[in-house]
Homo-oligomer: A and B are copies of this chain.
Amino acid sequence: MIAVLKNTATKEQISSLISWFENKGLKVNESKGEYCTVLGLIGDTSTIDINLLQGLDIIESVTRVSETFKKANRKFHPEDTVVDVAGVKIGGGNFAVIAGPCSVENEEQIMSAARAVKAAGATILRGGAFKPRTSPYDFQGLHEEGIRLLLEAKKETGLPICSEIMSPEQIPVFEDVDFLQVGARNMQNFDLLKALGKTGKPILLKRGLSATIKELLMSAEYIMSEGNPNVILCERGIRTYETYTRNTFDVSAISVLKQITHLPVVGDPSHATGKANLIKPMSMAAVVSGADALEIEVHCNPEKALSDAAQQLTPAQFTEVMEAIGKARSIL
């Protein structure tokens, strides 16, 4: 950690600050410049509150040099982590496609979707049972019944299942769910992360709407520091001013994550763009950026007036996307 002091700082203030650092067990390297004094702090600075320092009158700036993410850091763990989701491996060259409807609606819907995505080559089935909605008046999901239907679909198709968990109290309900998703809004619900850290289950951790890559990794640390190494990160679009797409798919974040962490990385073009006609190019873009898996929404309900036009792909469109994904994988 490097603290730059203003040139208005008095000798007394500087030595008082140095003593404070030394009491925290840090070695302090002082260097006086023409306009400022720079303190280099060596040792374990993770106990230093950077916000507190930045608020000091005598401080010009404070920069952390060593990354604060430890367990997720590729520096200390150079090989790729491979997470095993009920037999389906993700990471380290193993590629997976997680597909299915946004929400579980009823038995027929989830069964037909499960069959369709399996036929097209998906390896994990997704479906929401507990839905985080901006409005309390919107549909919140089928809850326990949704999980039960997903397990039915797993029994028939053999596909492992992935569903979103919103609260530590729901953990018992998710006992047989293979892959637990933490949604973007809960990326910093630290009590949930800690509780999931105690389960040992594969966790799909989605980046918050305006979270930085570093904040995403620090949330992964919450899960990992409780003993669960099975964390998979997911880029699902960030909030920007652009309105043609629901969010902006930050594919360079996928490349960056592959460089700085050993954890597998998933791209979710469905939530990132909100448009069915962008899923094919954005799936390919995520693959060439290094994604270890994709999460894609697929719906299959030909009798419903809306289904074939929605943001969710039809099975036929999904099959086309799977072919494009295959081509993109072939050139890496």
Contact = CB atoms under 8 A, between A and B. Distances in A.
Contact of A246 (B51, B134, B222, B324): B51
Interface string A73-89: 00000000000000000
B253 A250 contact: no
Contact of A137 (B46, B136, B305, B330): B46
A246 B136 CA distance: 27
A112 interface: no
A242 B246 contact: no
Contact of A274 (B55, B166, B221, B259): B55
Contacts of A179: none
Choose among A276, A281, A289 the residue with the greatest number of B CB atoms under 10 Å from its CB: A281
Contact of A288 (B70, B137, B210, B288): B288
B135 A218 contact: yes
A66 B218 contact: no
B259 A277 contact: yes
A323 to B, nearest CB: 10
Interface in A302-330: 305-306, 309-312, 324, 327-328, 330
A29 interface: yes
A94 interface: no
A119 interface: no
A306 to B, nearest CB: 6
A282 interface: yes
A256 interface: yes
A306 B52 contact: yes
Contact of A238 (B60, B166, B242, B259): B242
A212 interface: yes
A155 to B, nearest CB: 29
Interface in A258-308: 259-260, 272-278, 281-282, 284-286, 288-290, 305-306
Choose among A34, A212, A214, A241 the residue with the greatest number of B CB atoms under 10 Å from its CB: A241
A93 B123 CA distance: 35
A324 to B, nearest CB: 8
Contact of A36 (B17, B65, B68, B273): B65
A331 to B, nearest CB: 4
A34 B66 CA distance: 9
A68 B137 contact: yes
A223 to B, nearest CB: 9
A55 B4 contact: no
Contacts of A272: 252
B252 A35 contact: no
Contacts of A60: 65
Contact of A248 (B40, B252, B311): B252
Interface in A13-65: 13, 16-17, 19-20, 29, 31, 33-36, 38, 40, 42-43, 46-47, 49, 51-52, 54-58, 60-61, 63, 65
19 contacts: A4-B63, A17-B306, A34-B42, A35-B65, A47-B139, A52-B311, A55-B275, A55-B311, A68-B137, A185-B189, A189-B189, A213-B242, A238-B248, A240-B240, A252-B272, A288-B328, A324-B331, A327-B331, A328-B331
